[in-house]
Amino acid sequence: MGQRRLATPQKDDANKRPQSKKSNNAVLNSTTTRKGEVFRAQRRTSENVNLRASQHLIDIPVNKSVYNGYGGEQFSAKMQPKPVRGGQPKLRIIPIGGVGEMGIGKNMNAIEYDDEIIIVDMGFLFPGSDYPGINYITPDITWLEENKHKIKAHVFTHGHLDHIGSFRHFIHRIPAPVYGSKFTISMLDRTMDDSEVDFKPDYRVMDPLSHEIVQVSKHFSIELVRVNHSIPDSTAVIIRTPMGVIVDSGDWRFEESPVDGQKFDLERLTEVASKEGILMFMNESTNCESAGTHTHTEFDIQYSIGQVMDKFSNSRVILSCFSSQVHRLQLILEEAHKHGRKVAFAGFSMIQNKEVALRSGTIKIPKDTIMKMEDIVKLPDNQIAVVCTGSQSEFNAVLNRMATGAHKYMKIKGSDVVVFSSNPIPGNEKSVVRTVDGLMREGSDVIQNGKTHLTGIGPHCTCRVTDIMTITSN
């Protein structure tokens, strides 16, 4: 008998088939290649990539020369020495911000040894046009928050916002005693007025002139050393560790005749270097890579301001500078007093820093020299001097608002003279030029550094203008 056929054969039930186990690899799931072959190919590719990548490690020889330290053999990752675990604790310097960053700001360094950390500075960065709507950028302190039990001290070099700007945002998250010079601590305390948290830091004022050494923890001690900068009480920080001495210079410049009479304490740094040795020197300052030094002092700038007031005797004189340049504010006040002009300060940070300087005794105001901005309409132009922010063409700074007619009490007019008493910070040149163009369109005269041959104002010398490094550069 033959085989019997079913008239209506049933379809194959897919549920009865053996189920193949899917992997997490989407490419593998969609291919018919055997799993073992795929994994072997992946391994070969990975080994090849690692082999090639190992040729680009820093300080690793890649040729077969007998001089490469490996007997003429081609280097491979297997030949790289492995780190030894345990043993002596290591000293680590960890940039939290500022190092390798775009622009100038976010300065913050952590120094770690064993189970202790001290932090130097805590700044923020003013972003450029590529960060629209962002007021400032702060460092990422995630690692510090995870290790906040190790933090023994915060120490600050000076009071500029690129070094203290993030303080009010971070100090309650990574609390520890705060060390700095008198004026710097006053600036830190002022920034806490804008904080959104009710936290009182543990401030500890140090005297850089007495070479005071403070033991902040078992392994770390710190000392502040006087340096010159465009803000009072600027210091370098000497950090003594079990491995050696670390020096963080902060921002600095050499000044032959500082306004407060306190010169750069190079003798102390030389003494430490010769007696103790310096394991690492962390140098930082705008334009410090430029050869040579400047030949002009703050008193030369005071003389130039007097020249402006003499030449434009019937005009309102508007001077823009950094709100933290307290010594320059002192000289402007003295020069205005000599010329019978009242001085009005414009800008929130300008007024706040002036009050800090008054409370700390850093500045002295001549009698009957200060007036309110709203009262300048009561005086003739030849009796008015206005000191404002905006030398770096910040978007919402006072000078820009005056030039565009957005300021509440003052608008630039054709008889005014505007003095930029500070050079542009590297990166701000384009914005400053745009502000100068706007001021000139309003008809005002604009005085800038390096234009002595055009204005007849400023120190005269026979060198090229491009070779002049003025005191305004830091």
- Convert the pLDDT of each residue in 198-227 to its tens digit: 999 999 999 999 999 999 999 999 999 999
DSSP state of 29: H
Alpha helices in 77-122 (DSSP H): none
**CA 355 from chain center: how many Å?**
24
Residues 240-283: tens digit of each pLDDT:
999 999 999 999 988 888 888 888 999 999 999 999 999 999 98
Pairing of strands 317-320, 417-420: parallel
pLDDT-derived band at 314 (thresholds 50, 70, 90) equals: very high
Answer for the pair 284, 157: CB distance below 8 angstroms, yes or no: no
User: Which of 219, 183, 151 lies closest to 361, judged by CA?
Assistant: 183
The residue that leads in pLDDT, 103 or 373, is 373
8-state DSSP, 228? B
Report pLDDT for 471.
Answer: 33
| DSSP code of residue 473 | G
pLDDT category at 429 given cuts 50, 70, 90 is confident
Q: Are 92 and 111 in contact (CB under 8 A)?
A: yes
Query: How is residue 203 written in tokens?
Result: 């401030």
Q: Which of 27-41, 76-90, 253-267 has the highest mean pLDDT?
A: 253-267
pTM value is 0.74
What pairing do the DSSP bridges indicate for beta strands 108-113 and 116-120?
Answer: antiparallel
Cβ burial, residue 285 (10 Å; 0-12/13-18/19+): middle
What pLDDT, on a 0 to 100 scale, did the predictor assign at position 43? 72
Question: Which residues lie across from 178 on neighbouring strands?
Answer: 154, 203
> Does residue 279 come out as left (phi exceeding 0), alpha (psi in the -120 to 50 range) or beta?
alpha
Please provide residue 429's backbone torsions phi and psi, each rounded to the nearest 5 degrees.
Answer: -60, -45
Give the three-state DSSP class for 425: coil
Rg (Cα) of the chain, in Å, rounded?
Answer: 32
| d(C-alpha 422, C-alpha 413), whole Å | 22
